A and B are shown apart, each in its own frame.
Chain A
Amino acid sequence: MSNGTFEPRLVGFLCNWCSYTGADLAGTARMVYAPNIRIIRVMCSGRVDPQFVLKAFREGADGVLISGCHPGDCHYQEGNYKALRRHRLLSKMLEQFGIEKERFRLEWVSASEGTKFQLVCNEFTEQIRKLGPLNLHQNGGRHEQGQA
């Protein structure tokens, strides 16, 4: 937090072939988007182990984004479908942990969609800003804090 406003800390796992290139395009095209996202490159969205997401939340992330190729466009044929399956299951589990499912997002961004990446980042940042900080450590989770 700086200047009194809450700046969310977001972690993005981007697929090397589509979304990472798309983010690169947003950069080379000098598109301005919320600087809150911190990007980790993976070869495929299917590489994203659910542990990575949990680890990110544990380390203080307020939101996690997984972004891969559009359905049918996967460089590895079907990695993005596996990411989709894992996202569904993990979302349910996160809710049980008291982490809103809105904090965990899956998006399809192709290599040419620099504008979409910009949009997703801005939108996600705003969404998390509204939700507020996750505060897993300070208050033993946002869920309990809400009940108090």
Chain B
Amino acid sequence: MVNLTIDGKQIQVEESATILQAAKKAEAKIPTLCYHPVVEPYAACRVCMVEVSLKGKADLVTSCNTKVQEGMDVQTNSERALRARRLNVEMLLARAPAAEPLRQIAKELGIKKTRFAVKDPEEKCILCGLCVRACEQIVGASAISFIERGTERKVSTPFGEPSEACIGCTACAYFCPTGAITCEDKYGRKVIHEEMYLGPTTAIRVPSRQAVPMVPFIDKEACIHFKTGECKICAKVCDREAVNYEMDDTLRDLEVGSIILASGFKPFDARRIPAYGYGRFPNIITAMEFERLVNASGPTGGKVLMANGEEPKAVGIIHCVGSRDENYNAYCSRVCCMYSLKFAHLLGEKTKATIYDFYVDMRCFGKGYEEFYHRLLKEGTKFIRGRVSEINDLALTEKEEGKLIIRVEDTLIGTVRRIPVDMAILAVGLEPSVDHNQLAKKFNISCSQDTFFLERHPKLAPVSSFTDGIFLAGTCQGPKDIPDTVAQAGAAVSEALALADAGKVELEPITAEIDDELCSGCQICVGLCPFTSITYDKDKGISVINDALCKGCGTCVAACPSGASQQKHFRDAQIFAEIEGILLV
């Protein structure tokens, strides 16, 4: 601990403290601009000047970054300190006359007008660099810095353009003491500059506007705090103190009677079809990206805009991307036709664009779907029947200049067409989710040819799997839309509840049994049973089967040298008779 005097007041503070922190404890008021408790002090504005006497030597120091020393005598309002402070404030005023907190300090110091030349009466930035330090130390993005020198010095992103390093966190605006950096309230949140790309959002966010439960989560991959240990801005602004960085994934073992698999799907990766140009042309987007684009809480506030910020004049929707295609997935993904029609409708509602819809077959199979298709036909969407072969930007005429060219065979008029559009939406199909195969292994579920989980019977047991007590729901079993998923999920739940409600489990009747008279007690069967249902009874000298554990595979029966082990309904004699029977003719 260090003892010092501030404005005649004796106080004791920690060795690491600065004069400013000590003054706060001594309740002495020192004006500051570029100081913020969570950011390293930099002493840029120099309005926190104080006079310090130590061992008979008096000096002017900036209080924000000067450490306390034993026996210091600090004068926060001495004539010499005030004079220095006034000069500094006057010079700052000449640079940033519009900065409100600066004018307040000037007023308190009795300054009416600066004697130096004012360059820009609207300027607010005092070049304190608090924003630069916050961006570097707190956010860890280092997206802004000082550029130029001398009188041209200013804070900016590289080349004054929206930076890729900027994560749009608005921390710079939050830290700016003079309000020189502003952010707008847009799309229901604060934005620092217009986002025009469909990249990731902030690291803490609600999964979607319709998320249930409506609770934000922290994306650890993107969060600054989990990289640098700094930031924690979300925790600082949360009044409820709900942000918890320590919370971790916990693994819990639950004992359950039945399991419903609903592991869902992943959208087909459009990059796998290079001819469609996804990833090469910015205005070729997938269905998921279009969903985000038209969403009212999306990056453009629901406006359909191209990468350059303009509204498209012509949009092409391409069906069956990765579906019904021998090269990728042979199956129909079922949902794409209808969501494509929805997109066409939304485009008609939100833009004046000409909408082209390239379909292979229009599959409007559900209730009210065909009617919706007819509505779109009346709304003027141009439907072209044919699989798109390629999307490129190779213009042949002046009209095609700067456009995306969709090449397609129009099978209804029997000719190959080139259709120039501004934006192309790829209606990607459905594929099993990422960890589908691991799940299949773990739960011993078979997969059908299209790699989705196989149900026990397509008509009689469409929600059961081959393993008792494991049921399937939703797109893990095959592509399906929301109504079908809800119906199947409901069925799966009732199957599971029926099991729980019965309170008892019906065992497979096809179990193995051992004839006491014939068993010699050789114990070959004991080692073979994968379910350890066979034990050796030492007293009787025979093997015994536990009926509750036996699943009835019959592997012990096949191995029994004395024929003592027999499988109900599949006895040796029965199978021998079968063999004789089928080979009679």
Contact = CB atoms under 8 A, between A and B. Distances in A.
B557 A40 contact: no
B454 A47 contact: no
B536 interface: no
Nearest to A111: B446
A13 to B, nearest CB: 9
Contacts of A42: 554, 570, 575
Interface stretch (A76-84, A97-105, A120-128, A138-146): A76-84
A111 B553 contact: no
Contacts of B449: 112-113, 115
Determine the interface band of chain A, counting residues with CB < 8 A from chain B: 35 or more
Nearest to B551: A76
Contacts of A88: none
B579 interface: yes
B446 A47 contact: no
B583 interface: yes
A47 B441 contact: no
How many chain B residues sit at the interface, stated as a range, is 20 to 34
B576 A47 contact: no
B170 interface: no
B447 A56 contact: no
B553 A79 contact: yes
B446 A18 contact: yes
Given A51-B572, A82-B528, A38 B554 contact: no
Contacts of A61: 579, 583
Contacts of A113: 449
B532 to A, nearest CB: 11
B551 A60 contact: no
Contact of B575 (A52, A79, A86): A52
Interface string A4-42: 000001010000011000000000000000000010101
A40 B575 CA distance: 8
A43 B449 CA distance: 23
Contacts of A79: 530, 553, 555
A77 B551 CA distance: 11
Contact of B466 (A47, A49, A75): A75
A63 B575 CA distance: 17
Interface string B339-359: 000000000000000000000
For B528, B552, B579, B583, the residue with the greatest tally of chain A CB atoms inside 10 Å of its CB is: B579
B530 A78 contact: yes
B580 interface: yes
Nearest to B457: A21
A55 B582 CA distance: 12
B578 interface: yes
Given A47-B557, A86-B558, A40 B454 contact: no
Contacts of A38: 582-583
Interface in B421-451: 441, 444, 446-449
Given A56-B583, A59-B579, A59-B583, 5 more contacts: A11-B579, A42-B570, A43-B567, A77-B444, A79-B530
Interface of B: 441, 444, 446-449, 454, 466-467, 510, 528, 530-531, 551-555, 557-559, 567, 570, 572, 575-576, 578-580, 582-583
